[in-house]
A and B are shown apart, each in its own frame.
Chain A
Amino acid sequence: MPTEPNVILLVEDNLAHAEIVIRSFQEHHIASHIVHVLDGEAALDYLLHRGQFTETANNPRPRVILLDLRLPKISGLQLLHEIKTHESLFSIPVVILTTSEAEQDLTLAYANHANSYLVKPVDFTKFSQLIDDLGLYWLDWNRQPLN
């Protein structure tokens, strides 16, 4: 059992949606610390310890990245590509969490080595369930190397 809380990096530009995700995690008591950034630039800053996130100690490596596709400036897919081609970052699981069900988005996401693709349900109950399952799977069931 890891001593420090699992860090989840949430890349979501919609504040309301971010709040929903964070609150859901809290309600399901999933032991995790969610770092929320609003765009791809900030996400990379966090992951590469630059910009406002230069303090490595305070900004641990996330166990999983939740990524929305619709982002301003750098798009979600671009960020995905960046992460998955970066030597020190590609092993981090990236779970797409988006409103889009478009086939093209699915194809492109997997083509860029997304680990999973989740569509935000409109129904609250389902959304809640999704977050619960998500936490269970990726943080409890899923194994990752230690380094």
Chain B
Amino acid sequence: MSSKLEAYLSPAILANKASIARTIQNISVVLLIASVVAGVITIVDRNWGAVRALGILTLPLIVTFWLSKHGHASAAVFVLSVSLLISSTILATLGQGIHDVTNFVYPGILLVASLVMNKRAFSILVALTLLAVGWLVLGAMGGLFVPRPPDVGALSDLLIVTVILSTTAFCVYLLSNNLQQSLLQANREMVEREQAKTALHESQTMLQLIFDHAFDGISVYEENLEEGTRRLIDCNSRYAEIAGRSKEELLKMGNTLPIQKDVGGLANRTQFLENLSQGVYMGRFSWLRPDGQENVIEYAAVQRRVDDHLLVIGVDHDITAQLQAEAALERERALLRTLVDTMPAAVFAKDMNGRKILSNSVDQLAMGVKSEAEALGKTDFDVYPPDMAMRFMEEDRRVLENGEVYESESDYIDNYTGERRWVSGFKRPLHNQAGQTIGLIGSFYDITDIKRAEIEREKLITELEAKNTELERFTYTVSHDLKSPLITINSFVGFLQEDLLNGNVAQAQEDMAQISAALAKMEQLLNELLELSRIGRRINPPETVPFEVIAREAVELVHGRITAGDVAVEIMPGLPYVRGDRVRLVEVVQNLVDNACKYMGDTPAPHIEIGARQTETEAVFYVRDNGIGIEPQYHERIFELFDKLDPASEGSGAGLAIAKRIVETHGGRIWVDSEGHGCGSTFCFTLAAAL
């Protein structure tokens, strides 16, 4: 029962006081107009009492208007309602009492008021209304006033009721409209709130997922600034994993600082909080895990104030593996770098434009720079002579464009010492991980020593082979030519025996002559062999002598034969100096002059010319005669040991061989120019040390 009464009496929930106030405003204005209209009607009706009653309304209406303008809706409505009540009661009292049409106002007031006022005010209003009604009935019954008798029906009544009803309806409409709006708004707000709740739930779920599955450790600490303590209030599983303890353990511990070790930055908690207050704090530390393992953590934290609590949300990122990899990389890098720098070969790398991006100490030396910094960025054109640089550039181009591996052995003239050096090297393209060419790497090392040794070896081998061949020929010749007189001797000894047995003395004497001759021949052969072998080992130290002097000495030694053959000998002027074994050189010229005399033949005016001519590179000495000449096919053979073209002639046939040997040990060559029989011969030779 009382709840029903309350429900009837209690107003709807007003969402917006401001709009209500505005509504009241409007209502008061309307009422003002209404009362004016009613007043006009009563004036026409000469109901002066009514006019006065309505006049009483004016002030309250103005007050209502003023109150509602200032937002005091309930107060405004109270004032309005009460004043309306009073004035309508007065009107009714002056009118027909309980039967007056103005009593239509009572329900109207109550209806409107119920929509706006609170419980207490409304109950007061209801009480006042009952009082008013009570007055009208009981007052009239008690003769306190005399109500006018009811009319049959005046037009003014109709108008008044119309006004009252329409006003009431209008007010109700306005207020219910307002109410409707508020309801709609409340509904909307509820929906919104629901949506917001769902969205929040979604977002929370997602955050939780991130929190739980993050690969880094996430922790939430609460800092108590006054007590100077901190407490772990939440963390994810990864955090526990990194710490090497269970989540429960950590939560129980609360403050995990004691099992952390600062690796870089964080000195103490105060500093930490100080840094934190300036934004995001970042640092490095390691956990002291129960299993003994220590891993390095990179840590970032932000703070957040929630009510009185300072929350610190941190992210722990395990960088142990990364640091180890970096350390290993650094070690390897250092190792490689040391290797590259201490290698005896040059190591370098260039980019696609041919600029140095790596240069070890040997390469720097070749470039003529003192440090890698000086070398970097330079191209070959910056440090090498243009023709060399061009060559290098071409090699580089082939490597970079065609992906060729370029290997080469080349020689160059050293910039500083001017000597010839050899290098062996290679260049190959450098690729990135995608397989594209990003430059080239190369290396070269000095093989000058090796090369020189090779050249020396080649030379020695050739020399050795030549000497071997010569030795073989020598041995052959010697055995052959020594055997011959031996056969002669033996045979004639045999014949001698026979002849003596037969008593053939004359023949025996001839035999003995043959034997003697053979023996002499052998002796000569042996002497010349000795001479030849001796030439190989130079006995006398080299001298620098004018060739003219040598020529004269030689001519002197052949004096006998020259005079005997009536040969004219001419020594040309302006002969150069020579350097060598003086005695041997004289021997050469002596042999040549001797031969020239021996092979003059029947020439009427035998003539020998000794001279020298200069070519671009060397001096060529010659002994020219106008003798019998030598057929071209024998030009090589005559220098062979004991190989005589005319066996009947004097000598063993070793002269030219000896001369050749001497010339060759002096680093020169000997040859003959002759057109053939009867055209004379020119024997020429060079000496390496001729000046």
- State in angstroms the CA–CA spacing of A27 and B497 once bound together: 14
A26 to B: closest C-beta gap in Å: 11
Q: By the criterion CB–CB under 8 Å, are A72 and B480 in contact?
A: no
Q: Which residues in window 81-129 of A have CB below 8 A to B? A: 99-100, 102, 120-125, 127-128
Do A99 and B487 have beta carbons less than 8 Å apart? yes
Q: Which of B201-209, B402-410, B641-649 contacts A (4 or more CB under 8 A)?
A: B641-649
Check A72 against B644 for contact (C-beta < 8 Å).
Answer: yes
Residues of A with C-beta under 8 A to B484: 14, 17, 99
Q: Does B634 contact A (CB under 8 A)?
A: yes
0/1 interface trace, chain B 641-675, chain A, CB 8 Å (1 if under): 00111111000000000000000000000000000
**Which partner residue on chain A sits nearest B485 by CB separation?**
A16
Closest A-chain residue to B644, C-beta based? A72
Count of A-B contacts judged by CB separation below 8 Å:
58
Which of these, A13, A73, A99, A124, contacts B491 with CB under 8 Å?
A124
In the bound complex, do residue A13 and residue B647 qualify as a contact, i.e. CB atoms below 8 Å apart? yes
Residues of A within 8 A of B643 (CB): 72
Q: Mark B473-506, 1 if CB is under 8 A from A, else 0.
A: 0001000100111111011111100100000000
A47 interface residue, CB < 8 Å from B?
A: no
A73 to B518, CA, bound (A): 23
Q: Interface code A9-24, partner B: CB below 8 Å = 1, 0 otherwise?
A: 0000110110110010
- A: number of interface residues (CB 8 Å): 23
**Minimum CB–CB distance for B608 against chain A, Å:** 24
Centre residue among B476, B646, B647 by max chain A CB count within 10 A: B647
- Do A16 and B517 form a contact, CB below 8 Å, given A124-B493, A125-B494? yes
Residues of A close to B487: CB separation below 8 A: 17, 20, 99, 120-122, 127
Question: Which B residues between 556 and 601 are near A, CB-CB below 8 angstroms?
Answer: none
Residues of B within 8 A of A13 (CB): 647
- Which of A25-47 touch B at CB < 8 Å? 27, 38
Query: Would A123 and B644 be within 8 Å (CB), given that A19-B514, A70-B480, A100-B480 are in contact?
Result: no
Grouping DSSP codes into helix (H, G, I), strand (E, B) and loop, the A interface class, with mixed when no group exceeds half, is loop
B494 close to A128 (CB less than 8 A): yes
- Nearest residue (CB) in B for A70 is B480
Instruction: List chain B residues, Cβ under 8 A from A27.
Output: 498
Inter-chain contact A99/B646, CB cutoff 8 Å: no
Task: Name the residue in B483, B491, B498 with the highest tally of chain A Cβ atoms < 10 Å from its Cβ.
Answer: B491
List the A side residues contacting B495 at CB < 8 Å.
Answer: 20, 23, 124
A122 contacts which of B476, B490, B514, B634 (Cβ < 8 Å)?
B490
Q: A72-B644, A72-B646 are in contact. Are A20 and B483 (CB under 8 A)?
A: no
Which residues on B sit within 8 Å (CB–CB) of A120? Answer: 483, 487
- Closest-by-CB residue of A relative to B521 is A16
B490 touches A123 (CB 8 A): yes
Interface residues in chain B, defined as those with a beta carbon under 8 Å from any beta carbon in chain A: 476, 480, 483-488, 490-495, 498, 514, 517-518, 634, 643-648
Nearest 7 interchain pairs by C-beta: A124-B494, A16-B488, A20-B491, A99-B483, A13-B647, A124-B490, A124-B491
Taking Cβ atoms with an 8 Å cutoff, the residues of A that contact B are 13-14, 16-17, 19-20, 23, 27, 38, 70, 72-73, 99-100, 102, 120-125, 127-128
**Could you write out 30 A-B pairs with CB less than 8 Å apart?**
A16-B491, A17-B487, A19-B514, A20-B488, A20-B495, A23-B495, A27-B498, A38-B647, A38-B648, A70-B480, A72-B643, A72-B645, A72-B646, A73-B634, A73-B645, A99-B487, A100-B476, A102-B476, A121-B487, A122-B483, A122-B487, A123-B490, A124-B490, A124-B491, A124-B493, A125-B494, A127-B487, A127-B490, A127-B491, A127-B494
14 additional contacts (CB under 8 A) given A20-B488, A127-B491 = A14-B484, A14-B647, A16-B491, A20-B495, A72-B647, A73-B634, A73-B645, A120-B483, A122-B483, A122-B486, A124-B494, A124-B495, A127-B487, A128-B494
